[in-house]
Structure 1
Amino acid sequence: MLRDQLDQRAPVMLALIRIMSGLLFLAHGTQKFLWFPAGERAGSGWAFADPAAVAGIVELTAGTLIALGLFTRPAAFLASGTMAGAFFIGHLPHGFWPVNNMGDAAILYCFIFLYFVFAGPGSFSLDAARTSLQRR
């Protein structure tokens, strides 16, 4: 009985995780390009020679799309690959263990976004609304 209730709420929880991870990912991009929130990386996206600037563009665009649930699967695929690259290029050279090389967030984002590629957006998404309109 409890399992049935939990199973019924799974699409809502998937949507909640999608929205929150998209917004958190977006915040990395806004920090790099919009100086918000203030911090060590604020404004660093405008140095286009820096590979982090490319990541910032993906964070802005894919983070927005994932949070809205619009083109979720391709946006999540791009974000997942970007975070895999960020780990191997930016973190792994500083040591093998993610907890020591500060790459744990990149790995976690990578696998959460990879999950969205397979699971889709869940409920409360613009993808679901588009599909509903197309069926009419």
Structure 2
Amino acid sequence: MSGVEIIGALLRAYEPLTALVLPASIKAGKLPDGVALPAILVRSVSVVDRQRLKRGPLIRSEERVSVAVRAATYRDQKAAIRLIRACCAGLTGDFSGCFRVSILTAGTGPDVGGPANSFEQTQDFRVSFDAAA
């Protein structure tokens, strides 16, 4: 499991967000050409695994996850960023097969122009979790 999978699952399950962005338009890795807008791309920026001193079933990891919004309008871009933050920021618990998950915001990126005159912005999170070794 990974922070990308945790964030992606939370976003696809968050009804206020899926009213704006179709769950099928929330992807990991790369957005396909011609994806329906607005769309969300969830990517890993970096992962730090804490090394175990003795064998155990879990490893604690901290992953920086970037969530990029691509929208046809600036209004939809800003609405999606607000909903993404509301969905994930400050959550704790067990999600997507991971344990003791905690999610903190790690910065909002600049407004940038995307392909085909779209609007883009990123929201980063710091996701800490225990997962099977």
Q: TM-score, normalised by structure 1?
A: 0.29
Bigger proportion of residues as helix: 1
Structure with the largest fraction of strand? 2
